[in-house]
Structure 1
Amino acid sequence: MKSLKLTFSVFAILMIFISSCNNQTLKIFQSNSARAQYQNTLKNSGIATTKIGLEWQSSADDAILTASELEVPVAIQGSFLSKSVEARAWSIQLDQGASVNIIVNWQASDSSKLIVDLLTGSDLKEIESYTAKNDPLKFEADKTGQYLLRIQPELLGEGNFQVRITGTATYAVFPVEGKNSAAIQSVWGDVRDGGERSHEGVDIFASRGTTVLAPVEGVVTAVRDRGLGGKQVWVRDTKRGWNLYFAHLDSQLVSNLQRVSPGDTLGLVGNTGNARSTAPHLHFGIYQSGAINPFPAIETEFDAAPELEVQQLATIMRVNTANSNIRSQPTTKSEVISKLEVNTPVFILAATLDWFQVKTVEGVNGFLYRNLLSAVDSIALEEKETYAFTQANSTSDSLSVDLAHFSSIGYSGNGRKLIIDKDGNLLYLTSAD
Structure 2
Amino acid sequence: MHIKTGLWLLLLVITLLTGCGGKQFTQTIFQKRTPYEAYVQNLETAKLHQTALGKTWMAAGEKALQDSLLVQLPYQETGYFKAEQPTAASVAFRARQGEMLEVLVTTRTKQNIRLFLDLFETASGRPRTATHVAAADTTGLQLRYQAESDQVYLLRLQPELLSNGSYTTTIEAKPSLGFPVSGLDSRAVQSFWGADRDNGSRRHEGVDIFAAKGTPAIASAKGVVSRVAETPRGGKVVWLTDVNNRQNLYYAHLEQQLVQPGQQVNPGDTLGLVGNTGNARSTPPHLHFGIYSFGQGAVDPYPFIYQNTQQPATLKIDEKHLGSWARIAGKNAVLRNSPEGKAETVAKLPKSTAVQVLAGTSSWYKVQLPNGLTGFLHKDNLETLTKPLQTKTVKTDAELTELPSLTAMPIAALKKHTSFTVLGLFEAFQLVELSDGTLGWLPQT
- In structure 2, relative to structure 1, the CA distance for the partners of 1:278 and 1:180 (3 Å cut) is same
The one-letter code matched in structure 1 to 2:16 is S
Task: Quote how far apart the aligned CAs of 1:159 are.
Answer: 0.7
C-alpha separation between the residues in 1 aligned to 2:234 and 2:266? 23
C-alpha separation between the residues in 2 aligned to 1:232 and 1:405? 83
SS in 1 for 2:407: coil
C-alpha separation between the residues in 2 aligned to 1:424 and 1:163? 32
The one-letter code matched in structure 2 to 1:142 is E
- For the pair 1:388 / 2:389, whether they are aligned, the reply is no
- For the pair 1:411 / 2:442, whether they are aligned, the reply is no
Question: Do the aligned partners of 1:26 and 1:41 also contact (CA within 8 Å) in 2?
Answer: no
Question: Do the aligned partners of 1:118 and 1:129 also contact (CA within 8 Å) in 2?
Answer: yes
Range that drifts further, 354-363 or 130-139 = 130-139
- For the pair 1:47 / 2:48, whether they are aligned, the reply is yes
Task: Quote how far apart the aligned CAs of 1:416 are.
Answer: 1.1
- In structure 2, relative to structure 1, the CA distance for the partners of 1:48 and 1:362 (3 Å cut) is closer
C-alpha separation between the residues in 1 aligned to 2:99 and 2:406? 45
The one-letter code matched in structure 2 to 1:25 is G
CA displacement 1:224-252 (0-9 Å, x = unmatched): 21132111111111011111111111111
Q: Which of 13, 16, 19 is 1:17 aligned to? A: 13
C-alpha separation between the residues in 2 aligned to 1:396 and 1:345? 17
Runs of 4+ in 1 over 6 A off after TM superposition: none
Tell me the equivalent position of 2:248.
243
Tell me the equivalent position of 1:90.
91
Question: Do the aligned partners of 1:105 and 1:132 also contact (CA within 8 Å) in 2?
Answer: no
CA displacement 1:295-319 (0-9 Å, x = unmatched): 1111234212234378332512222
Q: How many residues align?
A: 426
Question: Do the aligned partners of 1:219 and 1:258 also contact (CA within 8 Å) in 2?
Answer: yes
TM-score by length of 2: 0.88
Task: Quote how far apart the aligned CAs of 1:50 are.
Answer: 2.5
Range that drifts further, 111-120 or 397-406 = 397-406
TM-score by length of 1: 0.91
Structure 1: segments with no counterpart, 5+ residues: none
- In structure 2, relative to structure 1, the CA distance for the partners of 1:418 and 1:277 (3 Å cut) is same
Range that drifts further, 302-311 or 37-46 = 302-311
Task: Quote how far apart the aligned CAs of 1:43 are.
Answer: 2.3
Range that drifts further, 389-398 or 228-237 = 389-398
- For the pair 1:327 / 2:339, whether they are aligned, the reply is no
The one-letter code matched in structure 2 to 1:56 is W
Q: Which of 136, 141, 145 is 2:147 aligned to? A: 141
Q: Which of 16, 25, 31 is 1:28 aligned to? A: 25
SS in 1 for 2:248: strand
Correspondences of 1:213-228 after superposition (within 5 Å): 213-228=218-233
- In structure 2, relative to structure 1, the CA distance for the partners of 1:429 and 1:201 (3 Å cut) is same
Question: Do the aligned partners of 1:79 and 1:313 also contact (CA within 8 Å) in 2?
Answer: no
Range that drifts further, 238-247 or 160-169 = 160-169
The one-letter code matched in structure 2 to 1:219 is V
- For the pair 1:400 / 2:412, whether they are aligned, the reply is yes
Question: Do the aligned partners of 1:106 and 1:132 also contact (CA within 8 Å) in 2?
Answer: no
SS in 1 for 2:98: coil
Question: Do the aligned partners of 1:103 and 1:133 also contact (CA within 8 Å) in 2?
Answer: no
- In structure 2, relative to structure 1, the CA distance for the partners of 1:422 and 1:299 (3 Å cut) is farther
C-alpha separation between the residues in 2 aligned to 1:33 and 1:178? 41
Task: Quote how far apart the aligned CAs of 1:109 are.
Answer: 3.2
Q: Which of 305, 312, 333 is 2:312 aligned to? A: 305
C-alpha separation between the residues in 2 aligned to 1:113 and 1:421? 34
Structure 2: segments with no counterpart, 5+ residues: 124-128
C-alpha separation between the residues in 2 aligned to 1:221 and 1:362? 59
Question: Do the aligned partners of 1:63 and 1:88 also contact (CA within 8 Å) in 2?
Answer: yes
Question: Do the aligned partners of 1:15 and 1:156 also contact (CA within 8 Å) in 2?
Answer: yes
C-alpha separation between the residues in 2 aligned to 1:316 and 1:12? 25
Range that drifts further, 61-70 or 42-51 = 42-51
C-alpha separation between the residues in 1 aligned to 2:351 and 2:43? 43
Task: Quote how far apart the aligned CAs of 1:344 are.
Answer: 1.9
C-alpha separation between the residues in 1 aligned to 2:370 and 2:112? 31
Tell me the equivalent position of 2:366.
357
Correspondences of 1:24-423 after superposition (within 5 Å): 24-30=21-27, 31=31, 33-122=34-123, 123-134=129-140, 136-171=142-177, 173-288=178-293, 289-308=296-315, 311-314=319-322, 315-376=324-385, 377-378=387-388, 379-382=390-393, 386-402=398-414, 407-413=421-427, 415-420=428-433
C-alpha separation between the residues in 1 aligned to 2:413 and 2:84? 18
- In structure 2, relative to structure 1, the CA distance for the partners of 1:422 and 1:38 (3 Å cut) is farther
C-alpha separation between the residues in 1 aligned to 2:44 and 2:146? 33
SS in 1 for 2:6: helix
C-alpha separation between the residues in 2 aligned to 1:8 and 1:394? 27
C-alpha separation between the residues in 1 aligned to 2:287 and 2:437? 61
Question: Do the aligned partners of 2:239 and 2:250 also contact (CA within 8 Å) in 1?
Answer: yes
Tell me the equivalent position of 2:126.
none
